[in-house]
Amino acid sequence: MTAEAANARQAAQGSAPAADAILFDATGCQAVGDDVATLRAAFADSRILLLATTISGATLREALAAGADGCLTADTSATALAQWVRYALAGGKVYPRDMAQILAQSPGSPGSTSIGGRTLSNREIEILTRLTSGHGNKQIANELGITEATVKVHLKSLLRKIGAVNRTQAAIWAMNNGMAGSGGGRAAAAN
């Protein structure tokens, strides 16, 4: 079952049924954090995912702090969107690599950011996001314009910081902490 509401307030006031997942179109929304908090209060057990054409690091942080379970770009294909919703319903935090990079590059964190309670450098985040896509050290080095030895140094530091033994555990940690692979907004709820 699906339902649609014109905005977060309308959805929260009972015009939308209880939902397993809520897709909130945050494009053009002026108070994303407030809208997410409204939805979270009304649908405590639902997974809330933002859809946005563009989003700043500050807005994304605000939405996550208010209880969003992730954010996807509005141009995400229907197939990918369905996969991300299933992942969110399984308890995962959802946002693509470019969103992780937005978080890492947002004001207030010029050289590092905190993800999953760990402070990671921007370079470690770049490497970690590529690990989630299955890239090897040589490919990561080529993409980042650094040597393979430098990738290994960053990877060793990254594994230590997140308590992972190998790159597979690091990729799983990344996915569990929202770094997965690839107000007007409208709220759509899906059961």
Domain finish residue from 42, 75, 94: 94
Q: Give which of 58, 55, 84 is closest to 185, Cα–Cα.
A: 55
- CATH code of the domain containing 115: 1.10.10.10
Q: Is the dihedral of CA 69, 70, 71, 75 positive or negative?
A: negative
Beta bridge pairs of residue 107:
none
| 77-114 pLDDT tens trace | 888 888 888 888 888 777 766 666 666 555 444 455 66
Same-domain pairing of 112 and 67: no
> What gap in Å lies between CA 174 and CA 181, rounded to an integer?
9
> What gap in Å lies between CA 117 and CA 161, rounded to an integer?
10
Domain containing 135: what range? Answer: 101-176
User: Residue 94 carries which DSSP code?
Assistant: B
User: How many domains in the chain?
Assistant: 2
Domain finish residue from 79, 94, 109: 94
Percent of the chain predicted with pLDDT > 70: 80
Same-domain pairing of 107 and 81: no
Taking the whole predicted model, whether its pTM rises above 0.75 is answered as: no
The DSSP bridge pattern shows strands 21-25 and 47-52 to be parallel
Residues 6+ apart with CB under 8 A from 81: 23, 72
Domain membership flag for residue 9: no
Same-domain pairing of 40 and 63: yes
Whether 189 shows a pLDDT value over 50: the answer reads no
Hey, which bits of 101-177 come out as E strands?
112-115, 118-121
Please calculate the CA angle 161-167-169 and round it to the nearest 5 degrees: 75
The DSSP bridge pattern shows strands 2-5 and 118-121 to be unpaired
Q: What is the pLDDT of residue 138?
A: 93
Contact 84, 72 (CB under 8 A): yes
